[in-house]
Amino acid sequence: MDATSSSSAAAAAAAPDNRPIRVELRSALNGELLSELQQEAPCGVGDLQCRLAAKFCDGARPTLLFEGSPLASTDFLREDVSLAVVRRALPEEEALLLQTARKAVSHVKADHLQLVKDLRMPPEPLHDVLAATMSLLDLREHNWVSMKKFLSQRAIVSRLIALEPQQVSFDSQLAVEEIVHRHHNSFNHEVISRCSIALVPFATLIRAFLACWKA
């Protein structure tokens, strides 16, 4: 098994590999075969972890072990491999954060979102929170026109409430993390509340998802 670290991830992505590889996944507890996948190399470990968490409806990404050693989410698989899977539940603290955030989002009203849509251009904190929220749902166009279209969706609140942390793709998780890392002040409660009360719950949900992914 050849795992490529995050430092050479770009080179791995650029390499015209695309060879089919077999990934065998067994329970670390009893060796039971959980799944056997055909993937294209290089296969990202983080993406594999997210897919497994969604498949098993687990609250947290599983730990994948190769010969007893854990793989990093930024590693890549390049050849046939058998991995041990340590399934993980979401810790109580993170689960409570997520529950609280969902309750806050459930109170967001359509007329509050309309006030945001009526802005000619959004303040930077509002733009950042919306960009991160859209990234949760694999939406990558973050211009103001796309954001207003997003806010017009009738099911936006229900979609966010129903979304589980493990259902967010690894690429989208990285996109959200990058936005928050570059604009961390925008997700501060006091900062975003000065721009829009309606988006405070969205910022709370983003922080809860980040905590769940790191759990």
Confidence of residue 2 (pLDDT cuts 50, 70, 90): low
pLDDT of 15: 42
Domain boundaries, the chain: 3-88, 92-214
pLDDT of 3: 55
DSSP characters over 116-132: HHT-SS--HHHHHHHHH
Classify the C-alpha dihedral 68-72-73-75 as positive or negative.
negative
What is the DSSP-derived secondary structure letter of residue 110? H
Which has more pLDDT, 179 or 90?
179
Which has more pLDDT, 154 or 192?
192
Whole-number Cα distances in Å, 139 to 10, 136, 146, 165, 175? 22, 7, 9, 16, 10
Return d(Cα 11, Cα 8) in angstroms, integer.
5
Confidence of residue 191 (pLDDT cuts 50, 70, 90): very high
| pLDDT at residue 153 greater than cutoff 70 | yes
pLDDT digits (tens, 9 = 90+) for 109-151: 999 999 999 999 999 999 999 999 999 999 999 999 999 999 9
pLDDT digits (tens, 9 = 90+) for 8-20: 333 334 444 688 9
Q: What is the mean pLDDT of residues 180-203?
A: 95
**Burial of 212 (C-beta count, 10 Å sphere; 0-12/13-18/19+):** buried
pLDDT of 104: 96
pLDDT of 1: 54
* Beta strands 81-88; 20-27: pairing state: parallel
Q: What is the mean pLDDT of residues 170-190?
A: 96
Return d(Cα 168, Cα 160) in angstroms, integer.
11
Q: What is the mean pLDDT of residues 142-162?
A: 94
DSSP characters over 3-71: EE-GGGHHHHHHS----EEEEEEEETTT--EEEEEEEESSEEHHHHHHHHHHHHT-SEEEEEEETTEEP
The CATH number fitting domain 3-88, selected from 1.20.120.1200, 3.20.20.60, 3.40.1080.10, 3.10.20.90: 3.10.20.90
pLDDT digits (tens, 9 = 90+) for 23-63: 999 999 999 999 999 999 999 999 999 989 888 888 888 99
pLDDT of 215: 86
| pLDDT at residue 155 greater than cutoff 50 | yes
pLDDT of 10: 34
Structure tokens at 164: 């589980």
Count helices and strands in the chain by DSSP H and E runs: 10, 8
The CATH class for the domain spanning 92-214 reads: mainly alpha
Angle, CA 37 vertex, CA 58 and CA 8 arms, to 5°:
85
Q: How many residues does the chain have?
A: 215
Q: What is the mean pLDDT of residues 80-95?
A: 94
Angle, CA 68 vertex, CA 67 and CA 73 arms, to 5°:
95
pLDDT of 12: 39
| pLDDT at residue 160 greater than cutoff 80 | yes
